[in-house]
Amino acid sequence: MKRSLQLLIIAILLLGIIGCSTQYHLKKADTYYETLAYAPAIHHYEKAYSKDFNNIELEEKLGDSYFRVNNIVAAEKVYEKMVQRENHSPKIYLNYARILMSNEKYDEAVSYLRKYLFVYEEDVVAKMLLSSCLSLNNRYRDTTLYELRAIKSKNFVNAFSVIEYKDGAIFVADKEVFLGNKKSAWTGNSYLDLYEIKKDENGDWMDPQLLKGDVNGKFHEGPATFTNDGNTVYFTRSNYLKRKMKVNEKKENNLKIFKASLIDGKWKNLKEFPYNSDDYSVGHPTLSDDQNTLYFVSDMPGGQGGTDIYMSKWENEAWSKPENLGPTVNTKGNEMFPYIHTDNALYFSSDGHNSMGGLDVFITYYNGKTWAQPENLNYPLNSSKDDFAFNINKDDSTTGFVSSSRSDADKMYVYKKHPPKFNLYGVARKKGSEKRVEGVTVKITNAKTGEVINMVSDKKGEFRFRLDPETPYDLYCTKEGCFTRTDKISTVGLKYSQNFYADFEVESIVIDKPIILDNIYYDFDKWDIRKDAAQELDKLVKLLEDNPNIEIEMSSHTDSRGNDQYNQVLSDKRAAAAVSYLVSKGIHSNRLTYKGYGEKKLINNCANGVECTRSEHQQNRRTEFKVTKINE
């Protein structure tokens, strides 16, 4: 009994100690979480969570903290438990769907987005994410356009926003922190700094060096842009003064844009962008090619939501009041990392447009009045993770840099853009069958250069040809004694690889052999060419254009019902109307004759007095043509 009592007392004491320990870690974690110090918050939330699995608020903050520091795998495990609980906020569904998309579990994400939209049916961002999941195949429409190669950055945890600078590049990076060194509370790594990297004589990247001068301070420095001469930089920096970080009433440290000048190899004379604020962030600058427009990101009041892209113009020796790019570009989500190219195409990243998950890179154009609907640059440039900080090299528009978290950390990549590939696959078949025809001559003319390529269909009746981008082609397919067929194809304006298919019917030319034109119908007691009949006659126009050496007779036939003389007159008028239509389309009248046969050439037994079905009578009401002469 005494032994049992001692064990019970020890157990009670342990529970008290555990309870105190849990409260301690929970209090510490909440303090860090409220100040956006997610790395230490995670440490304490994990301690508390290991002893209290049923604390829903703790669970939600832990999952959110994992998500904030890009630990997607751990975040998914926590959110998976949360969505199975009752009485949680519907917004958990949206966060979980984002995580599932980041882990390429799009089908699962769809169900949770629909659950969220059942409650918040007007949420534009959730609608866009759902649309993205349902149209995922579009993101893989051409996986050959971009080739990515990682830039090795062995001394860094995260390295991103790399941009061409003189004979090298500038990028942003942080490092692992060891005891005694200052670190970012958000990530647990060092603060971000700007580095310069150059290539050796073999084209290999050398060891990066911190930018010299006053650009890098005690806290974060971020994405930068440079004037064309390389002597002025606009860069992003944490809001701090005299080595002390400034926070607003929400305990947020905002970002600001600074300008610096290169003097004797060092960056000096730091000046603030005039529209910085302690109350909101301004960052991610990029300059237009003429250097008169600065694009940047801000969450200032009055935007579309999240972070938006703004522009400011250099006028009268000062930057103009920032102008929001508007709802076509900016969404309720986050638009970030703008880059304006020399052709005025604006590239940026967004998680509010139709992304694959996280941030994707988009492109838009300005026509002087409005911005075009942003277009996703698709896989492999984009992925289910964050893809951002896209830019193009000045001397080679097919290469540049992009950053991505697809390897579970922010990394830098060099990309190579390949031209789209276009292939022509052709087949020659005997008309009315699947029989392939060998020996058909195919002449492919480059309409831009005039170059002619002659090909012949093989034993399978097939031919193939690689087409050039931005090029129109004329196809001419012929075989001795057969009708010639032509076609036109064009790759002009096509951005994505595509296969073209040409299916040529091979039909022998037989003098005086009637060829029925299908679907040539007339209104009762009329001979006017209807729209549906015109579409069929247009096919004959093309045949006559493709075969300028033939002459034809157009003929019209009726069924046996009605007066014989009436049918004769009506068929004459219909045949004449068909010829008139061909002439109106440019076919010379000396190649054409016509004749109405009335009911003289029935193709079945439905003569006068014979009872027939409607379909049997319809077989006799037809329009035909036949070749009457082949000229040399």
Min mean pLDDT across 178-192, 588-602, 617-631 is at: 178-192
Min mean pLDDT across 16-20, 191-195, 211-215, 359-363 is at: 16-20
Q: How confident is the model at residue 523 (pLDDT cuts 50, 70, 90)?
A: low
d(CA 58, CA 29): 9
d(CA 125, CA 250): 24
**257 Cα distance to chain centroid:** 30
Provide the token pair at 507. 């039909």
SS3 category, 236: strand
Give pLDDT, residue 2.
47
Q: How confident is the model at residue 100 (pLDDT cuts 50, 70, 90)?
A: very high
DSSP annotation of 591 reads G
**264 Cα distance to chain centroid:** 44
d(CA 505, CA 461): 11
SS3 category, 462: strand
SS3 category, 189: coil
232-238 vs 255-263, strand pairing mode? antiparallel
- List CB contacts of 202: < 8 A, sequence separation 6 or more: none
Residue 335 has pLDDT above 70, yes or no: yes
Beta bridge partners of 147: 416
Amino acid identity for residue 154 in this structure: K
Q: How confident is the model at residue 407 (pLDDT cuts 50, 70, 90)?
A: confident
Contact 140, 379 (CB under 8 A): yes
536 — phi, psi (to 5°)? -75, -40
Rounded percentage of the chain residues whose pLDDT exceeds 70 = 93
**Could you report the per-residue pLDDT of 224-237, keeping only the tens digit for each?**
999 999 999 999 99
Residue 339 has pLDDT above 90, yes or no: yes
Residue predicted with more confidence, 2 or 388: 388
Min mean pLDDT across 82-96, 216-230, 262-276 is at: 82-96
- List CB contacts of 593: < 8 A, sequence separation 6 or more: 551, 552, 553, 554, 579, 628
Q: How confident is the model at residue 6 (pLDDT cuts 50, 70, 90)?
A: very low
Q: How far apart are the first and last CA of the chain?
A: 123
Contact 599, 559 (CB under 8 A): yes
d(CA 201, CA 209): 18
What percentage of the chain's residues is helix, strand, coil (to nearest 5)? 25, 35, 40
**Could you report the per-residue pLDDT of 354-402, keeping only the tens digit for each?**
889 889 999 999 988 899 999 999 999 999 999 999 999 998 999 999 9
Give pLDDT, residue 178.
77
Give pLDDT, residue 524.
62
**Mean local confidence (pLDDT), 487-515:** 90
Give pLDDT, residue 218.
87
β-sheet with 498-506: strand ranges across: 462-467, 422-430, 498-506
Q: Compute the Cα dihedral for 246, 250, 251, 252 and give only its sign.
A: negative
**Mean local confidence (pLDDT), 577-602:** 91
- State the burial class of residue 512 (Cβ atoms within 10 Å of its Cβ: 0-12, 13-18, 19+): exposed
Instruction: Give the count of beta carbons closer than 10 Å to the beta carbon of residue 236.
Output: 26
Exposure string over 250-264, b if 16+ CB within 10 A, otherwise e: eebbbbbbbbbebee
380 prior amide bond cis, ω within 30 = yes
**Mean local confidence (pLDDT), 36-45:** 83
Give pLDDT, residue 15.
39
**Mean local confidence (pLDDT), 118-141:** 90
**Mean local confidence (pLDDT), 586-608:** 90
CA atoms within 13 A on the CB side of 42: 18
Residue predicted with more confidence, 26 or 151: 151
Beta bridge partners of 233: 226, 260
**Could you report the per-residue pLDDT of 551-569, keeping only the tens digit for each?**
989 898 888 888 889 889 9
Domains of the chain: 16-140 (1.25.40.10), 146-417 (2.120.10.30), 422-506 (2.60.40.1120), 515-630 (3.30.1330.60)
- Give the closest residue to 357 by CA, choosing from 622, 104, 66: 104
Q: How confident is the model at residue 164 (pLDDT cuts 50, 70, 90)?
A: very high
Q: How confident is the model at residue 244 (pLDDT cuts 50, 70, 90)?
A: low
d(CA 173, CA 187): 12
Residue 11 has pLDDT above 70, yes or no: no
Instruction: Give the count of beta carbons closer than 10 Å to the beta carbon of residue 626.
Output: 14
Give pLDDT, residue 243.
55
**Could you report the per-residue pLDDT of 46-69, keeping only the tens digit for each?**
887 777 667 878 888 888 888 888
DSSP annotation of 544 reads H
Contact 477, 462 (CB under 8 A): no
- Give the closest residue to 69 by CA, choosing from 34, 40, 108: 40
Give the Å distances, CA to CA, from 44 to 14, 25, 209, 402.
19, 5, 35, 35
d(CA 275, CA 284): 14
Give pLDDT, residue 247.
52
Strands (E), 107-254: 146-150, 158-165, 168-174, 193-198, 209-210, 221-226, 232-238, 240-241, 244-245
Residue predicted with more confidence, 172 or 88: 172
Helical (H) or strand (E) element with 114: helix 106-119
Contact 186, 37 (CB under 8 A): yes
CA-based R_g, the chain, Å:
36
